[in-house]
């Protein structure tokens, strides 16, 4: 049986965080709303196709039901995944777009969002999901900033900001020395001051059956962290890794260092001696690393000669101080000079120009107006489809009412038995009730839709958030943001100037930087 000849199957995903549960957000209400939407759209939803994560944050995909959903999607079980809002899938725009591109679209499936009736398989639907994802990520960023602000103030006062520290117990948000554990901390520092390596210390303390704060065996990493933790000399160090979960090494910041309100476990003389050992041991290690540059335009920047995609290329600088970085023709890279030339494009030059173009474009009123028009047109089309459904239902309703009148007359005239009359009447009245209920729901949808048309201010806010999010994003997130906004970038033959940029929200028009403002758009042939 072909995919077109069978009823389309959908999965439903529902999520609320622990905080949302406390504030009265209902999993049941979400599930009911999304199931009704699936029914109206003609999708079949089996009981096993309902995925519910209650009490989980949307910051990433570390949730049991979303993981089960991913496994089932990869087995091609569904034609669509339906959710109430974009941020139910994730509050990370990168995760949402990866889910759509790599998990759904690559398998011929799509994401449907019940609010505003958004379909990821349409160009404008994909773009607007990206915008909503940007909103969700922006909101989460604001919340994190508020929390960090409060923790910053505590750290500046030398107050403890949470987390388990071997040697201390947390009592009323204060660090209090744990005598038994503090003796182990002193032992670890003493061993290191004698020149012992991390692994040697681990072998000694694990051999003596000591345990970490979480009652696990010690590792090299755990010992290393202990020997660098300034809390043991009575100081509070906080904030160095505040963005580590999303940005990794690029997220390290200058930490706050203050005299703590707690008592020290390690004397400053022993601390200094251990830090000297740490320094000597570190200098003995030889590090070799290969450059792994992040090329944000990979996949959208095209070779000016053959139109193929581009890949990373690096060339050593003559003075040995580093590398020159380029985008290179993918055909040349994979097939050699018989397919194309290298056509190297300087990375820093083209990326700077693209960001400059985006900044100017997102502030352009004509672009905002065009996007607003397209989204509202698509939204109007959706309302029109619902209106057509209501018209068809009214016709069916009138037919059922006429049939009900007919069987009443037939029964009165003695042409139907009492049993047959009751069966037909009950069946017809049930169908009438079902049609009227469906019409009522569709009419409610239209009423809500009329109140939810997109405003110019909403579009401007979404677009204005793009650059701040981009500038603060980790490398991979920058690449995802660019790919969500831009379809292709074409270069002039000189490999320095941008010929045109095609954006997803205006797929049939290309922005040409060389044109004056009053000719911002030109049609691509």
Strand arrangement, sheet containing 498-503: 486-491, 498-503, 509-511, 521-523
Burial of 315 (0-12, 13-18, 19+ CB in 10 A): exposed
Contact (CB, 8 A) for 462 and 505: no
Q: How many CB atoms lie within 10 A of CB 26?
A: 13
pLDDT value at position 456?
60
Pick from 62, 59, 113: nearest CA to 86: 113
Q: Which two tokens stand for residue 142?
A: 């604001």
Residue the block writes with tokens 């009359």:
421
Collect contacts of 517-520 with beta carbons under 8 A, ≥24 apart. Answer: 520/364, 520/366, 520/367
Task: Give the span between the Cα atoms of 201 and 235, in whole angstroms.
Answer: 24
pLDDT value at position 184?
95
Instruction: Give just the sign of the alpha carbon dihedral 248, 251, 254, 256.
Output: negative
Contact (CB, 8 A) for 95 and 61: yes
pLDDT value at position 519?
38
Q: φ and ψ at 328, to 5 degrees? A: -125, 150
> What one-character-per-residue DSSP string does 58-74 give?
SSSS--HHHHHHHHHHT
Task: Give the span between the Cα atoms of 297 and 352, in whole angstroms.
Answer: 11
Helix axes of 220-228 and 198-207: crossing angle, nearest 10 degrees: 110
Pick from 81, 83, 80, 17: nearest CA to 53: 17
pLDDT value at position 345?
94
Q: How many CB atoms lie within 10 A of CB 183?
A: 12
Pick from 495, 397, 498, 487: nearest CA to 438: 397
H, E, C per residue of 11-63: EEEEEECHHHHHCCCCHHHHHHHHHHHHHHCCCECCHHHEEEEECCCCCCCCC
Q: Which two tokens stand for residue 515?
A: 């044109």
Q: What is the pLDDT of residues 239-275, one digit of tens each?
A: 655 554 444 444 456 776 777 788 899 999 999 999 9
- Bridge partners of 100? none
Q: What is the pLDDT of residues 482-512, one digit of tens each?
A: 777 788 899 999 999 988 888 776 555 555 5
pLDDT value at position 312?
85
* Residues of the chain where predicted confidence (pLDDT) is lower than 70: 1-6, 18-25, 136-155, 157-162, 238-253, 256, 283-293, 334-338, 362-364, 366-385, 444-465, 476, 505-525
> What one-character-per-residue DSSP string does 449-476 give?
HHH-PPPHHHHHHHHHTHHHHHHHS-HH
Q: With H, G, I as helix, E, B as strand and everything else as coil, classify residue 486.
A: strand
Domains and CATH numbers, the chain: 3-145 (3.40.50.1390), 157-284 (3.90.1750.20), 296-390+432-525 (no CATH)
pLDDT value at position 202?
85
> What one-character-per-residue DSSP string does 277-299 give?
HHHHHHHH-----------TTTT
Q: 3-state DSSP: the chain helix, strand, coil percent, rounded to 5?
A: 55, 15, 30
Task: Give the span between the Cα atoms of 196 and 219, in whole angstroms.
Answer: 15
Helix axes of 268-284 and 179-193: crossing angle, nearest 10 degrees: 50
Contact (CB, 8 A) for 52 and 27: yes
Q: φ and ψ at 375, to 5 degrees? A: -65, -40
Task: Give the span between the Cα atoms of 360 and 354, in whole angstroms.
Answer: 10
Output the CA–CA distances (angstroms, integers) from residue 348 to 235, 345, 469, in the order listed: 42, 9, 20
Quote the pTM value.
0.37
Helix axes of 220-228 and 268-284: crossing angle, nearest 10 degrees: 130
Contact (CB, 8 A) for 80 and 112: yes
Pick from 83, 6, 10, 8: nearest CA to 49: 10
pLDDT value at position 493?
92
The H-or-E segment that residue 170 falls in is strand 168-171
Pick from 460, 374, 451: nearest CA to 127: 374
């Amino acid at each position: 049986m072909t995919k077109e000849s069978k009823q389309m199957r959908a999965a439903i995903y529902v999520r609320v965080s622990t905080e949302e549960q406390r504030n009265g957000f209902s999993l049941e209400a979400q599930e009911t709303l999304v199931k009704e939407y699936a029914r109206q759209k003609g999708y079949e939803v089996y009981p096993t196709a309902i995925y519910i994560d209650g009490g989980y944050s949307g910051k990433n995909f570390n949730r049991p039901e979303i993981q089960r959903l991913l496994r089932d999607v990869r087995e091609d079980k569904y034609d669509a995944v339906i959710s109430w809002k974009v941020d139910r899938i994730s509050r990370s725009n990168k995760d949402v777009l990866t889910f759509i591109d790599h998990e759904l679209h690559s398998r011929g499936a799509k994401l449907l969002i019940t609010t505003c009736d958004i379909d990821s398989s349409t160009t404008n639907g994909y773009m607007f999901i990206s915008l909503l994802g940007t909103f969700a990520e922006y909101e989460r960023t604001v919340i994190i900033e508020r929390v960090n602000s409060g923790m910053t103030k505590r750290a500046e006062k030398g107050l403890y900001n949470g987390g388990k520290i071997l040697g201390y117990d947390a009592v009323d948000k204060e660090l209090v020395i744990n005598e038994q554990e503090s003796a182990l901390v002193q032992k670890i520092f003493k061993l290191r001051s004698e020149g012992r390596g991390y692994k040697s210390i681990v072998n000694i303390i694990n051999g003596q059956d000591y345990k970490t704060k979480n009652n696990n065996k010690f590792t090299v990493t755990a010992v290393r962290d202990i020997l660098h933790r300034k809390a043991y000399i009575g100081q509070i160090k906080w904030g160095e890794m505040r963005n580590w979960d999303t940005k990794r090494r690029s997220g390290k910041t200058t930490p706050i260092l203050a005299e703590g309100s707690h008592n020290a476990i390690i004397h400053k003389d022993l601390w200094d001696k251990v830090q000297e050992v740490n320094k000597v041991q570190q200098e003995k290690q030889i590090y070799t690393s290969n450059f792994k540059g992040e090329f944000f335009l990979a996949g959208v920047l095209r070779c000016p000669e053959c139109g193929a995609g581009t890949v990373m290329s690096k060339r050593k600088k003559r003075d040995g101080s580093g590398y020159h970085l380029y985008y290179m023709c993918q055909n040349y890279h994979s097939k050699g000079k018989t397919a194309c030339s290298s056509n190297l494009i300087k990375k820093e030059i083209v990326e700077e120009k693209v960001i400059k173009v985006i900044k100017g474009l997102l502030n352009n009123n004509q672009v905002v107006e065009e996007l607003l028009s397209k989204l509202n047109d698509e939204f109007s089309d959706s309302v029109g489809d619902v209106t057509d459904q209501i018209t068809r239902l009214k016709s069916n309703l009138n037919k059922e009412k006429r049939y009900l009148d007919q069987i009443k007359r037939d029964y009165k005239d003695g042409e139907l038995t009492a049993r047959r009359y009751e069966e037909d009447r009950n069946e017809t009245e049930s169908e009438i009730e079902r049609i009227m209920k469906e019409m009522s729901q569709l009419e409610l949808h239209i009423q809500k839709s009329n109140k939810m048309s997109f405003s110019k201010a909403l579009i401007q806010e979404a677009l204005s958030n793009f650059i701040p999010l981009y500038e603060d994003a980790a490398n991979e997130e920058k690449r995802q943001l660019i790919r969500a906004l831009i379809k292709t970038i074409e270069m002039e033959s000189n490999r320095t100037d941008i010929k045109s940029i095609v954006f997803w929200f205006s797929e049939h028009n290309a922005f040409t930087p060389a044109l004056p403002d009053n000719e911002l758009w030109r049609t691509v042939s």
